[in-house]
Structure 1
């Protein structure tokens, strides 16, 4: 039976998320926007993030069987859309934390899950998590045989691994004070000499993932972990995706999450889940632009005789944006519903998540631009929501695996398989 209606519980969740989101997040932008640099804006969001933690939004990133409150992937998409429409930067703290926890949720032992998930289940404090994968030189081809692979390397030395390398665009990874997130799932390439990848090796066989906490960082030498820079961004102006450096950084061997041979698979699965949620984030941004434009169209006549909603061209622009939003939302929900219910096989579920990421995020800029054309020059003013939403929208097809360099190539690989079944996700 195919259904397109939210349950009563999901409707209540949406209403509650919208209510709490407006109470907590609406005042935030005016406060953090007064700062001129990314790091100061990020730090200014701390009180608002603490309120979201207290309200249970971080605990909701963890499934109920592991002590969290997330009952459904669709529930996560509903909340992401509602809150992303209000403030993208602070919600990226939350959703970045969810992505940071995903490798542990998917691949951790029960003992690791109990230990490392604990700070995220209390609804107290300001715990951040990060998936530390991306690097300054890019990681689109990190698993290509014969390529350079990850530049961040790890070698075994007694009961520890020694890590060297830089990470960049790793949301939340430096924490609030530059001394690390509460938990980072750190992706490295196993290399005894720290040299380039052997072109004859299968890169996936050398990927290793570590569970790194603030305590791990504190137990290292002061210069073993450093926050080097916090790039200023054109959108998501209070988010954090710092450049960090590991220099002879020691991690206990007991804190390996994904051993060589399994680490790459865990990371790929985590990014497949984040793909569909990125689609929901894009829907939130598009929706905020649509709602602002609809209000304008109903209230403003542009000195004519009727509100411009009654003019054909403005109405067509709204219609175009609305269709993009509704189709994007359904695609994201379908992908997450398939993952949750096990529809099709692993490949078809992965394909659905990739489609949601590519389609939804590709629509974001054009949907916001549709609304700006309706409003006209007024939308170009920085005291309206439109410049912010347009700047936010531009990143969706670039981050979480760029749609051109990563996500379409992953979809291409699925289609190249001899046993590819185009419609397996439907039944």
Structure 2
């Protein structure tokens, strides 16, 4: 039978390995990191855990084995990601962003670029090599617009520019929110994949490209952003001031198609964010169930024996199972279709993160006012759950816009996902329900050869 939810022996090993890592190396840190007021110091507290993740092959487990990565399929990666994010969703994001920064090199880079960037990351023995991904921009000057996929009206769109000057690009502008980009010391990650406007004569979804910027590049400053959740992953503001980057660092297949890179990246991260929501809800559910089985509130028996706690926790358990299956489905679809799944990835991210937020809040209701006592950590579960619909492309905006853009297209087949058929994503599907304007329908860039599944290196 083709549909089988039983984990293979390798997948079970991946799950148990990730669970062991999270419980041994992350669980002792989570309270300290969450309480540390300085975001950079909080991130630095995870450095030993990250070194262990590198040693175990977790940090670059999503990269193809051909270039030194773990060779995990998307389904395998999602299985591991749930275990890590059940303990620390922020650390899961740190690992996820390694993929967001390097997968486009695999998709669109030359063979030389794949070996130089991916191979360097996977071969590093320091336990510190980290990769950032910078797309988001603030409004203002310098700045662009959060709606990078809006048509170019009055300069709408990304405004970080990369002007060609001989054998270099000169980069100027500002990014806001990207993860990992500052590295361990806010002097820069080892590699940062940055979406830039290489053709300043146009705006909106055209003229964008992906440029790899290496640590130590002059003219770049990083400033930490203090966040209310996922405090173990670093967010930064980046300012580029005439930063010079070798022209050979432009990922060749992305020239003029940086917008499609963003959409494809978020397609890949959709089920990872979704499983993050499952993980947070799972932890809150297990804690609430443990509470309900031991807390009597002064009555004759633990509150699990009463109707409301029992029914609510039963509903939460059902929703967690449903969301996990959706994440596995979306990840499997990506494996089947060359890491393309722009609509399904968005659907998965929206549905799971919003449904799981409701589940976490229901768990707080079961625990009652005691959930406000920080020693029980429910405040953290709620903060983590609240972030998930907002990050990794917000559900109100980019994620739903991607679904809408595909669905309105005359070629869309509403049974495609049921029948496991490919759904193409083109520039003509971008920018719907933003600022009205003309659309272009340029051809998409080709899919890569999908790596064979593997497992986390020990």
TM-score > 0.5 by shorter chain: yes
Q: What residue is the counterpart of 1:371 in the other structure?
A: 363
Alignment of 1:51-90 (within 5 A): 51-90=52-91
Aligned-pair CA distance for 1:139:
4.5
Distance in 1 (alpha carbons) for counterparts of 2:21 and 2:248: 40
Distance in 2 (alpha carbons) for counterparts of 1:87 and 1:24: 10
Local SS of the residue matching 2:398: helix
Distance in 2 (alpha carbons) for counterparts of 1:139 and 1:281: 27
1:169 paired to 2:177: yes
Aligned-pair CA distance for 1:191:
4.2
Q: What residue is the counterpart of 2:232 in the other structure?
A: 238
Distance in 2 (alpha carbons) for counterparts of 1:244 and 1:106: 25
1:146 paired to 2:152: yes
Residue 410 of structure 2, aligned match among 379, 400, 418: 418
Q: What residue is the counterpart of 1:306 in the other structure?
A: 301
Local SS of the residue matching 2:16: helix
Q: What residue is the counterpart of 1:125 in the other structure?
A: 127
Between 1:381-390 and 1:129-138, the stretch displaced more is 129-138
Aligned-pair CA distance for 1:321:
1.4
Distance in 2 (alpha carbons) for counterparts of 1:399 and 1:31: 23
Between 1:23-32 and 1:415-424, the stretch displaced more is 23-32
Task: Give the conservation status (yes or no) of the 8 Å contact 1:80–1:280.
Answer: yes
Q: What residue is the counterpart of 2:375 in the other structure?
A: 383
Q: Deviations over 1:286-320 (max 9, x none)?
A: 11101111111122222222222221100111112
Alignment of 1:255-294 (within 5 A): 255-258=249-252, 259-294=254-289
Local SS of the residue matching 1:368: helix
Aligned-pair CA distance for 1:64:
2.1
Could you say what the CA RMSD is over the residues aligned between the two structures, in angstroms? Answer: 1.9
Q: What residue is the counterpart of 1:405 in the other structure?
A: 397
Aligned-pair CA distance for 1:107:
1.4
Residue 188 of structure 2, aligned match among 169, 172, 180: 180
Alignment of 1:334-353 (within 5 A): 334-342=329-337, 349-353=341-345
Q: Where do 5+ consecutive residues of structure 2 fail to align?
A: 420-458
Paired residues, what number? 410
Task: Give the conservation status (yes or no) of the 8 Å contact 2:57–2:69.
Answer: no
Q: Deviations over 1:315-364 (max 9, x none)?
A: 11111211221111111110110111239x95xx3322111111011123
Task: Give the conservation status (yes or no) of the 8 Å contact 1:106–1:266.
Answer: no
Task: Give the conservation status (yes or no) of the 8 Å contact 1:153–1:164.
Answer: yes
Distance in 2 (alpha carbons) for counterparts of 1:93 and 1:141: 24
Task: Give the conservation status (yes or no) of the 8 Å contact 2:62–2:74.
Answer: no
Aligned-pair CA distance for 1:38:
1.5
Distance in 2 (alpha carbons) for counterparts of 1:141 and 1:233: 22
Q: What residue is the counterpart of 2:443 in the other structure?
A: none
Aligned-pair CA distance for 1:96:
1.8
1:32 paired to 2:33: yes
Task: Give the conservation status (yes or no) of the 8 Å contact 2:15–2:80.
Answer: yes
Distance in 2 (alpha carbons) for counterparts of 1:419 and 1:88: 37
Task: Give the conservation status (yes or no) of the 8 Å contact 1:379–1:386.
Answer: yes
Task: Give the conservation status (yes or no) of the 8 Å contact 2:229–2:383.
Answer: yes
Provide the TM-score with structure 2 as the length reference. 0.85
Q: What residue is the counterpart of 1:297 in the other structure?
A: 292
Distance in 1 (alpha carbons) for counterparts of 2:34 and 2:133: 26
Q: What residue is the counterpart of 2:208 in the other structure?
A: 207
Provide the TM-score with structure 1 as the length reference. 0.91
Distance in 1 (alpha carbons) for counterparts of 2:114 and 2:24: 32
Distance in 2 (alpha carbons) for counterparts of 1:273 and 1:426: 19
1:253 paired to 2:247: yes
Instruction: Specify which structure has the bigger relative contact order, considering alpha-carbon pairs within 8 angstroms and separated by 6 or more residues.
Output: 2
Distance in 1 (alpha carbons) for counterparts of 2:206 and 2:32: 47
Distance in 1 (alpha carbons) for counterparts of 2:37 and 2:146: 31
Residue 357 of structure 1, aligned match among 339, 344, 349: 349
Between 1:138-147 and 1:59-68, the stretch displaced more is 138-147
Select the structure that is richer in helix.
1
Q: Where do 5+ consecutive residues of structure 1 fail to align?
A: none
Task: Give the conservation status (yes or no) of the 8 Å contact 1:187–1:207.
Answer: yes
Distance in 2 (alpha carbons) for counterparts of 1:303 and 1:10: 45
Q: What residue is the counterpart of 1:324 in the other structure?
A: 319
Aligned-pair CA distance for 1:84:
0.4
Is the alpha carbon distance of 1:40 and 1:71 closer, same or farther for their aligned partners in structure 2, counting shifts above 3 Å? closer
Local SS of the residue matching 1:426: coil
Find runs of 4+ consecutive structure 1 residues off by over 4 angstroms. Answer: none
Task: Give the conservation status (yes or no) of the 8 Å contact 1:140–1:405.
Answer: no
Local SS of the residue matching 1:61: coil
